A and B are shown apart, each in its own frame.
Chain A
Amino acid sequence: MSETIMKKMDENRWLIEPAGGMRVPGILYTSERLLRDMGGDESPKQVANVAHLPGIVKYSLAMPDMHWGYGFPIGGVAAFDMASGIVSPGGVGYDINCGCRMMTTRLDLDAIRKQLPELVTALFQNIPSGVGSTGPLKLSPKDSRKVLIEGAKWTVDQGYGTPEDLEATEDHGAMDGADPEKISARAMDRGKQQLGTLGSGNHFLEIEVVEEIFDPIAAAAFGLEQDQIAVMIHSGSRGLGYQVCDDYLARMIKHMREMSLNLPDRQLACAYLDSQAGKDYLAAMACAANYAWANRQMLMHWTRETFEKTLRKTPRELGMRLLYDVCHNIAKIETLPVDGQLKKLCVHRKGATRAFPAGHPAVPERYRKVGQPVLIPGDMGTGSYVLAGTDRAYEDTFGSTCHGAGRVMSRAQATKLSKGRVVHRDMADRGVIVMASGRGTLREEIPEAYKNLDEVVAVVHRAGISKKVAKLRSLGCIKG
Chain B
Amino acid sequence: MKKYRVFDHTADLGIEVFGKTQADLFSRAALALFDLLVEGVDAQTTASTEARKLVIDGADSADLFVNFLREILYLFNGEGFLLTECRIAQIAEKRLRADIRGRRYDARKDRVKTEIKAVTYHQAAVVQTARGWQGRVVFDV
Contact = CB atoms under 8 A, between A and B. Distances in A.
Decide whether A and B are members of one complex: yes
A395 interface: no
A411 B140 contact: no
A264 to B, nearest CB: 12
A62 B107 CA distance: 40
Interface string A244-287: 01100110011001000000011101000000000000000000
Interface residues of B, number: 29
B8 A412 contact: yes
A439 B114 CA distance: 10
Given A242-B117, A246-B118, A253-B121, A412 B77 contact: no
B54 to A, nearest CB: 14
B50 interface: no
Contacts of B94: none
A20 B113 CA distance: 43
Interface size class of A (residues with CB under 8 A): 35 or more
Given A70-B122, A189-B78, A410 B11 contact: yes
Interface string A379-397: 0000000000000000000
A266 B77 contact: no
A41 interface: yes
A291 interface: no
A410 B12 contact: yes
A144 B116 CA distance: 24
Nearest to B37: A131
Contact of A412 (B13, B113, B115, B118): B13
B11 A267 contact: no
Contacts of A7: none
Interface in A119-153: 130-132
B9 interface: yes
A68 B10 contact: yes
B114 A243 contact: no
Ranked nearest first, the 4 interchain pairs of A and B with the lowest CB-CB distance are: A131-B115, A131-B112, A242-B117, A68-B10
Given A67-B10, A67-B11, A410-B11, 6 more contacts: A69-B11, A132-B107, A246-B70, A407-B10, A413-B8, A440-B114
16 contacts: A41-B10, A94-B117, A94-B118, A131-B115, A132-B115, A190-B78, A239-B77, A239-B78, A245-B118, A246-B74, A246-B118, A253-B59, A407-B11, A410-B11, A438-B115, A480-B115
